[in-house]
Amino acid sequence: NNSQVNDTGTGSFALRGNLTLTRPNTALIWEVGTKENITWTRKGSIATVAISYSNDSTNWIPIESSVNASNLTYEWNITADKPLSYQQGLIKIADSSPAGQPTNDTSDVPFTLRGRLNLTYPTNSGLNFTYDGGTSTMSITWDKSGLIKKVWLKYSTNNGTNYPNNITRNNTTSA
């Protein structure tokens, strides 16, 4: 507490900012073919951030290499064009400025990334089909996004309250 005492160092040091990933940071489920917001907070003068995905905390797949850090959000269009592994994953956000200090943060909790199905026929509600002993057939079709190996087709007889009736199980996902 003596104002007469002071010292000046001869070495130098760098000050760096701080990034905190805020979403995804819980056990969310995100689907291929959707858009999800990745969000963060920032302290300091971090100009741009790089965003990456990993399913093993070691190998990181770039999502975006240079996002304005002051945006504090990035809308990720989760497409099947990247070699994503559809399982538990993490997001990492890092300072991507050329002179940036190594500042980054990673999801605290893995989230699930999975494929998505979209039924293309039949799609109208209120359709009634009559079983004719198995002589007639009807195609049930869908589009898929991402990695889905097999599906389980079921139908409801009570307006979708539940689906206890199997049509087929463990089919390949080709429609």
Q: What average pLDDT score do residues 164-168 get?
A: 80
What is the torsional sign of CA 156, 171, 54, 32? Answer: negative
Distance CA 145, CA 143 (A): 7
Check residue 108 and give its pLDDT. Answer: 94
pLDDT attached to residue 145: 80
**What pLDDT sits at residue 84?**
58
Residue 175 has pLDDT above 60, yes or no: no
Amino acid letter, residue 167: I
Look at residue 49 and tell me whether its pLDDT is greater than 80.
yes
> Which of 138, 141, 139 lies closest to 175, judged by CA?
141
Residue 47 and residue 30: Cα distance in Å, rounded?
Answer: 28
Query: What does the pLDDT look like over 52-74, one tens digit per residue?
Result: 999 888 999 899 999 999 999 99
What is the structure's pLDDT at 101?
61
Residue 135: pLDDT over 70: yes
Q: For 53, what's the count of Cα atoms within 13 Å in the CB-facing half-sphere?
A: 21
pLDDT attached to residue 26: 92
CB 59 within 8 A of CB 77: no
Residue with tokens 């990673």: 106
